[in-house]
Amino acid sequence: ELKVEQNPLFLSMQEGKNYTIYCNYSTTSDRLYWYRQDPGKSLESLFVLLSNGAVKQEGRLMASLDTKARLSTLHITAAVHDLSATYFCAVGDSGGGADGLTFGKGTHLIIQP
């Protein structure tokens, strides 16, 4: 059974600081996704990571994937208040089939001025 663990689950940080969210998963997978959720809203796709060593960046967010370590990271650079949200990683079974994703519990990120 595929299990996905995120840490930390809650993070309060100040604007301008850097931090990293970690996503570990338990079985072999070749696809990992990062989503953002604002309170009471749906999920917005941030990154799709499909190969070992993949790194993607969008603005102040950068995501990476190490399939050998079964680890993905989401790094926040010089945080701003607008990045306050809950961030989820989600992992699919190997083979890329359309059979649903397993989600972590999410990291609730609060960025204070």
Partner 1 sequence: DGGITQSPKYLFRKEGQNVTLSCEQNLNHDAMYWYRQDPGQGLRLIYYSQIVNDFQKGDIAEGYSVSREKKESFPLTVTSAQKNPTAFYLCASSTDRAYSEAFFGQGTRLTVV
Residue 42 touching partner 1 (CB under 8 A): yes
The DSSP output letter for 92 is -
The stretch near partner 1 (CB under 8 A) out of 11-19, 40-48, 53-61, 69-77 is 40-48
* Site membership for partner 1, residue 33 (CB under 8 A): yes
Please report the DSSP string for 25-83 in residue order: ESS--S-EEEEEE-TTS-EEEEEEE-STT-EEEETTEEEEEETTTTEEEEEE-S--GGG
* Nearest approach, Cβ of residue 64 and partner 1 (Å): 17
- Nearer to partner 1 by Cβ, of 15 and 38: the residue is 38
Q: How many CB atoms lie within 10 A of CB 18?
A: 11
Q: Which two tokens stand for residue 102?
A: 């397993």
Q: Which of 21, 67, 106, 111 binds partner 1 (CB under 8 A)?
A: 106
The owner of tokens 């010089």 is 78
Pick the closer one to partner 1 by CB: 76 or 101: 101
Q: Which residues bind partner 1 (CB under 8 A)?
A: 4, 30-31, 33, 35, 40-45, 48, 50, 88, 90, 92, 95-106, 108
